[in-house]
Structure 1
């Protein structure tokens, strides 16, 4: 994607892209088409070596099975593609393999749907071994369904997945065999990486520091808040999916309590199903968190819709109800004085809501105090008697670092422990089964 061969010479410069958002009347969408298009343009801007030359909402009564758009619209877009020297068309929505092949032939350009684009971005952003492997596995799953065209994954010349450039169509059966062999190989490598991560997590469980996980819609300001709270220098840009690999740092709260803060990948509406499955391991820190900070871009016109998407994904990941969640309303520095005043009133009246500006640090001290209080309030000391046969539960309590005192009694191990609600629920499940 860094250049194309034209008349034997390499034409340098970014790939020229046209972004199209199909607005289907048959779909009841929560989001305004214009805002959905703006998000798609932001997604495109997050991909290196890409220049968006134009963007358009295409209203459709119904998608055409073979070409997605009607004949007249296809001709109109073809003229625009040729006039603007577009090399890549990004369609913000699902495109079937047949539609993709036909449109590419008609327009004589490469085409990516929303899933393909997000996979390209993830490939550019993933840096850890596990992140890279998870992206490749998701890409293979996606590409296997599109074997009416080339599988160019292994022949790429750039940092992405090769969907944008590469050779033409190859034999489908050869492609399928190559993909299946690669999937087996990647799963073996991933199993080793996951085992290593589990060892690291097991070691960390022995250190009795609560985990606080940052989650939120992509570009909500999680990484900026993470940097502000930890003094770290994680990549924080006004760009979708600026953070992909989980980052963890220790934070000393004003109360003197130490916690582990975890920054995670940003969520997004219509996240490809392959990525929800592939990145479950990346989001394991959220599943183990003692407190979740749901960071929201409160200045965004669709902040409520974005928040609903985040809650839906958290639920699909299996985050337990016992885990407390704070809503951190970020970017108040972008609001008018009247808007800020109204939010501050709501903040004062509603438990679990905290207004901040990660950029300026406003509201951060109150947030840190609230985190400390929440973690203290939710940990209670109690005495348990575990039967001598309950060695697994006893070992788990020691791993969690919650045992304050222990002695052997007539009926078993008498243990004084400091448990959160979440840990108590986990212990009950462990003892029952």
Structure 2
């Protein structure tokens, strides 16, 4: 862990810079896979699965027997845990449902906005180094609440040609039935362009490695919406003398174990805490099954000593972390000063891992500094918001002069005429009230 003591603000940018991912090396590969799937469909998908996943498949689609079997073989305690998490996530996202509110901007002029679910969405669920079945809850539940008519899920098969039973059970729990054994760039291509087997979708969600990330960005250029730009997972922690070093170390490691490119940052006002945290990390890392991943990630980790909490929060707002933990007795007050973060964890007993799984909030969040402008996935991510307006005759009469004046000033005579023809024509009556 690199340590920086009281750095000047002009040096913050260099200290906080994430490692640059060289996408140029892989773009040609990604573009070729996208092109091949678009041209050859299922044949290409089966070929890429053979090459990249090392398995020969007879069918890309998961059948009902496989889904039913997953529910049998999965441990009872894990199924119960998934159900608790699902209930909390559903409760949190149901509260985000917005009913149309009709606003009368002038007498006889009514305007409103209505949320309509995106008809077809695709979910990509990684299954390589870790089967992220929790992401199915985070994406499938709001998609269902939003009213998305078709939810397609793709995840890479293991060497036996199967998906992890937790992935299948969780998908079934949230009502996803169109499940395909497809991973990597080819999965993004299948959902973006459609094949004989895999339906084309309008928006693609889900995390992935640098190849998947590049694929999502490239299909976005071709008119397919994606959830957000994504990079390696990251956590930042603000801690002071009230923090528990063991807790802080565990939180840093919980993010570092995601992968070798994960980012972890500690910002503190207590110099002695840095040494305590480093010692706790060395002790705890020996007990991790993913020790090698965590150790590699920690090679790029940083600890920054700041003179006071205000400077610390300013630095963290500049960093704009995916996850921000406030490990201090003053966490509630400091949370009010956070303006750039994907998700904030307030206090000593709010570990980031709870948000990853079961508190109810969504764990699909902006990384790589995108929290300065992007929100995490929510119910809004799965809907389009359509505006409506309805004018009665007297409403149009009241606003006609305003619209005609503005349209003529812009040189758009047809716009003005669309209003004047109505106001000058024979009167009409009748109205249709919005639902």
So what's the TM-score if we normalise by structure 2? 0.28
So what's the TM-score if we normalise by structure 1? 0.28
Which of the pair has the greater relative contact order for Cα pairs under 8 Å at 6+ separation? 2
Instruction: Identify the structure with the greater strand proportion.
Output: 1
